[in-house]
Structure 1
């Protein structure tokens, strides 16, 4: 090392130091309390809501998918919901209706409600605007797309990764962008 070199280097721990660190973490009650919080969150955002969803046959739902107001969520047959997806029906009337054979990529957000932020402050004290979301059959919602209140997605449509849908997407189209707009058509091999 040259004279005056002030760069930092990562400190390497010996086996004994790593063992001590492991033992301290196992004995730390804060870690166990945090684990209880995680189990509680998983129960009230995934396990319990699944009992209230109207669920079709043969679903594939990731264990870390999150549901809110599940009594107003309807999921069709053979729907696959990827990791860390969030489906939030509105707090009072908003519904999410999903057709058959729909594929959710990871981290898709579907929300049937948003704050009416022009009625004062703070935003969280404001009323919510709710509108039903209807997703047709054979739809692919790619990674991290967001479906907003009132969206209608036609059968066979594809929503690109990161797209934000706030209106109507026609059947058999490909939509991308923010806000999502039609950028192409889906063509199925062998169909006229």
Structure 2
């Protein structure tokens, strides 16, 4: 019996996925690829002609599109942040960390930390624990959770909260709303104000807690993240930080809101921005 979990509405073609504790999330597509054990592939990822090593963690909306004679190879114990894009032929070395929104065009040395567009070396990852990641126990809990609170796909979007979406919330097609309060995520779940518009193909991940004020608009392809990993540990344990969005906020297309961010009343976040918890707003092409 496979221990791997593939969510509903995932497309897998001509690929080999390990049966051991790998998880592929909704609206992702895996084609012509080989996926190792204990791998996580987030919502709305697109992989083609890719070889993914053991224990690699691939966050939401990553684009890993190799070519038939120009595969992408990602080694063991790598972490790709949200909305990372990797060019054909790139080889990412063991234990590397690629920051959210990064476009990787060159090979990455083992244990390097890379950010920006194009991606540039920032520093070497210092490992303080050699314990390796396993999804086994976590996926057992997730399966039980899905049995009790199965995901819903009414209205053309994915609802993983286990609760009805408020009628005052306008949600676009292809959007994912995921996360709830649990023993693993004591601060998890959503607080929604009135008159909120979330447009097409967004990802709102509320396991760490997400509060959105009234009269707020979130434009297409925006990603809001409330969980991360401690990259100093090889096992990449999850960390959680609440995101708070006050009233009358406007978030542009293709934005990334990282854990711990607080967007004050009336803020406007431009298209293609990445927002850090110290309230720094940068274009996704800028270096940190």
Structure number having the greater helix percentage: 1
Match of 1:145 in 2: 255
Distance 1:87 1:96, change over 3 A: same
Q: Which structure is richer in relative contact order (CA contacts within 8 A, separation 6 or more)?
A: 1
Structure-1-length-normalised TM-score: 0.59
The RMSD of aligned alpha carbons is 3.0
Where structure 2 has 5 or more consecutive residues not aligned to the other structure, the ranges are 1-7, 12-24, 28-149, 182-188
In 2, distance between residues paired with 1:131 and 1:38? 28
Partner Cα distance (1:41, 1:177) in 2: 27
For residues 244 and 216 of structure 2, the distance between their equivalents in structure 1, rounded to whole angstroms, comes to 12
Q: Paired residue for 2:224? A: 110
More strand by share: 2
Preserved contact between residue 229 and residue 239 of structure 2 (Cα < 8 Å) = yes
User: How far 1:167 moved relative to its partner?
Assistant: 2.2
Corresponding pairs, count: 133
Change (3 A) 1:37 1:65: closer
Report what 1:86 is aligned to.
Answer: 203
> How far is 1:177 from its partner?
2.6
Query: What is the match of residue 8 of structure 1?
Result: none
Aligned equivalents of 1:179, 1:154: Cα separation in 2: 24
State the Cα distance separating 1:179 from its structure 2 match: 9.6
Partner of 2:283: 177
Q: What does 1:53-92 correspond to in 2, within 5 Å?
A: 55=166, 58-71=168-181, 72-90=189-207
Q: Return closer, same or farther for 1:128/1:100 CA change in 2, 3 Å cut-off.
A: same
Mind listing any 5+ residue stretches in structure 1 that lack a counterpart?
Answer: 1-35, 181-192
Deviation at 1:129, TM superposition (A): 1.7
Is residue 166 of structure 2 the alignment partner of residue 52 of structure 1?
Answer: no
- Could you list the runs of 4 or more consecutive aligned residues of structure 1 that deviate by over 6 angstroms after TM superposition? none
User: Would you say the 8 A contact 1:161–1:176 is kept in 2?
Assistant: no
**Change beyond 3 A, Cα 1:47–1:113:** closer
Q: Write the deviation string for residues 82-103 of structure 1: whole angstroms up to 9, x where unpaired.
A: 111001123xxx1000000110
Would the aligned equivalents of 1:153 and 1:168 in 2 still touch at CA under 8 Å? no
